[in-house]
Amino acid sequence: MGPASRPTRPWAAFSLAAIAQLMIVLDISIINVALPSIQRGLNFTQEDLQWVVNIYVLVFGGFLLLGGRAGDLFGRRRMFMGGMALFVAASFMCGLSQNAGWLVIARAVQGLGGAIISPVALSIVSSLFTEGAVRNKALGIYGAIAGFGAALGVLLGGVLTSDFGWEWVFYVNVPIGIAVIVLSPIFIPLLPGNYQPGAFDLLGAASVTAGLCALVYAVVKAPDNGWGSAQTIGFLALAVVLLGIFIVTEQRSRAPLLRLGIFRNQSLAVANVLGFLTGLVIVALFYFLSLYTQIVLNWTALKAGLAFLPMAIVLSMTAGVASSMVTRFGFKYIIAIGMSVTTVGLLLFLTLPVNGTYGLNLIPGMLIVAVGLGCIFVPLPIAAVAGVEPKEIGLASGLINASQQVGGAVGLAALVTVSTTRFNHVISATHVHVGQFPLPAYWISTAPARVDGYHYAYAASAIVLALGVLLTFVLLPAPKRAPEMGSDRLASVTA
C-alpha cells in the first residue's frame, strides 16, 4: 500500500468530513427561520412554501443509500469531492433564484449533493480509525457536530436573513464548500473503491431510490391530500411495491447494493430503528419552535435565531462529555439516557403559553432537550457501524443517514398533520357572536389554537422517544467491556 493511501494526518481529514457534515445539517435547519422572508421575496403561496424544505428532504432521503454505496464502489474521496461540487453549485443557484420554481429545483439538486456527501463523509471518518476508543472519540465529535449544527442553523439563519437577506443562507455554503474541495486531495487519503464490471446493482439502486422517494412524497403530501386519500394510499402502495422489488432483487443479485445479511448485525439494525425515531422527532422540534417564536410570540428572525444559541452551546458541551462516557460505559446506556432526557424536555413544551417568555417558558425545555440530544447524537453513529466490515462502512453510513432523514420527513409531515388537525378542531369549535351573527373563524385570534396544536405535536414526539427508550433497553446489544472495545491505534485505510 502506497503512502498516499495511508491516513498520515487523520484528524485533518476528519475535520474536512466534519465541516461537510455541518454544512449538510445546517442546510436543513437554517431554512426554517428564513421561510417567511423567502415567501415574501419569491411570492410563494402558503401551500407551496413547505416544498422549500420538503424537496430537499425528499431527494436527500431517497438517494442516501445510493450515495453511500457509490462511495464504496467508486472511491470515497472522489465521491466526496463530486458531491461537494454539486452541493456548492446548487447552493449558488438557490441564492440566485428569481421565482418559486427555480428555488425548488435548485433545492432538489442540493439535496442530491447532500445525499452523496453525508454517508461518504461518515464512512471516511469510520475508515480513518480502528474500532475502539479513538473511533468512539471521532464519531462522538462527529455526532455532536450534527446536533450542534441543527441548533446553530436556526441561529445562523436568523442572523443572515436579518442582516444580509435570505439569499445568504445559501451563499454561505459556497466559499466553505470550495475550500473543502481544494483541501480534500491534500488531507483525505485516496480511499479507492472496489468497483468491478457488473458490481453496480442498477435495478436495486433504481427501485430503492424510487421507493424511498415515493414513501417520503406520500407522507410529505399527506397533510394536503389527506391520509386516507387515493393519492396518499397510491404512493404508499407504490413505495411498498418498489421496496419489495428491491428486497427480491437484493436476494438474487450477485453484487447487491444492500447485502441484506448486514441486518444480522443487531447493533446496526436497532441503531437504524432508533435513528428513524430520533429523526422523526428532531426535525419537527426545531420547526415548531421556530413557528412558535415568530408567529405566536411575533419575534424577528434575528431574535428567534439568537434564542437557540444557549441550546447549541449546551448541546456541544454535553456531546463532549458523552463521547468519553461512550468509551467507558458503551453506547447503549448513553443512548437510553439521551432519549429519556429529551423526552422530559419535550414534555416541558406542553406548557408553552400564548404569551410565553423566553426565561420562564422556553429556555428550560430547550436546555434539557440540548442535554438529551448531545447524548443521542454521539453514540448513535457508533452503534450503527459497530462490527461492520471496512468494505461496507459506506453502506452502513448510508443506512443510518437514510433512517434519520426519512424519519425526519415522515415525522415532520405526521406531526404537522397532528398539529393542524388539532388547530382546525379548536378553530371550528370557537364560536364568537356579535348580536345574532357569528364571527368568521379567521376573525378570531388563532394564537391559542396554534399553541394547542403545537402541544399535541410535542406530546406525540414525547411518546415516540419514550418508545425509543424501551427499544434501546430491550433490543440494543449490551456494551462490551472496555478491553474488548478495540485498541487506540490508527488503522491503515484499506477500503
Which residue ranges make up each domain of the chain? 3-191+257-430+439-484, 201-256
Beta bridge partners of 438: 433
**CA proximity to 352, closest of 423, 465, 280, 456:** 456
- Beta pairing partners, 490: 129
Predicted model pTM: 0.77
| Eight-class DSSP state of 359 | I
Q: Which segments of 129-262 does DSSP mark as H helices, in order? A: 133-163, 168-171, 173-187, 202-225, 230-252
Cell for 466?
Answer: 419514550
Asked if 169 contacts 34 with a C-beta cutoff of 8 angstroms, the reply is yes
Maximum separation of any 2 CA atoms in the chain, in Å: 88
Radius of gyration for the chain, computed over Cα atoms and rounded to the nearest angstrom = 22
Contacts of 395 (CB under 8 A, 6+ apart): 65, 68, 69, 72, 258, 259, 262, 388
Give the side-chain half-sphere CA count within 13 A for 466. 10
Q: Which of 184, 415, 188 is nearest to 279 (CA)?
A: 415
Other C-beta atoms within 10 Å of 367: how many? 18
494: region left, alpha or beta (phi > 0 left; psi from -120 to 50 alpha): alpha
b/e burial code for range 302-312 (CB count within 10 A of at least 16 → b): bebbbbbebbb
- Nearest Cα neighbor of 280 from 403, 121, 197 is 403
Neighbour count for residue 264 (Cβ, 10 Å): 9
C-alpha 246, offset from chain centre: 24
Per-residue pLDDT of the chain (495 residues; tens, 9 = 90+): 343 444 568 888 899 998 998 888 788 778 877 877 888 889 887 667 777 877 887 788 778 777 877 887 788 899 999 999 999 999 999 999 999 889 999 999 999 999 899 888 888 887 787 766 777 778 777 767 766 776 677 778 888 888 888 899 999 999 999 999 999 999 888 766 665 655 667 788 788 878 877 887 887 777 778 878 999 999 999 999 999 998 998 888 877 777 888 888 899 999 999 999 998 888 778 888 888 988 889 888 788 878 888 888 888 788 878 877 887 888 899 999 999 999 999 999 999 999 999 999 999 999 999 999 989 988 888 888 888 887 777 677 778 877 887 788 778 778 888 888 888 888 877 655 444 445 444 444 678 888 999 999 999 999 999 999 999 999 998 755 433 333 333 333 323
Question: What pLDDT shows up at residue 339?
Answer: 96
Contacts of 484 (CB under 8 A, 6+ apart): none
Query: What's the CATH number for 3-191+257-430+439-484?
Result: 1.20.1250.20
CB 289 within 8 A of CB 455: no
Shortest CA distance to 455 belongs to which of 478, 426, 481? 426
Contact 471, 440 (CB under 8 A): no
Count of C-beta atoms within a 10 Å radius of residue 163: 10
Torsion angle of alpha carbons 353, 357, 362, 363, nearest 10°? -160
- At 437, which helix (H) or strand (E)? strand 437-438
Of 237, 202, 245, the residue nearest 217 (C-alpha): 237
Residue 480's Cα: distance from chain center in Å?
28
Q: Is 4 exposed, middle or buried (0-12, 13-18, 19+ CB in 10 A)?
A: exposed
Helix (H, G, I), strand (E, B) or coil at 49: helix
pLDDT of residue 191: 67
Amino acid 488: pLDDT:
36
Task: Please tell me what DSSP assigns to residue 493.
Answer: P
Instruction: Give the single-character DSSP code of 362.
Output: I
246 contact partners, CB below 8 Å, separation of at least 6? 204, 207, 208, 211, 258
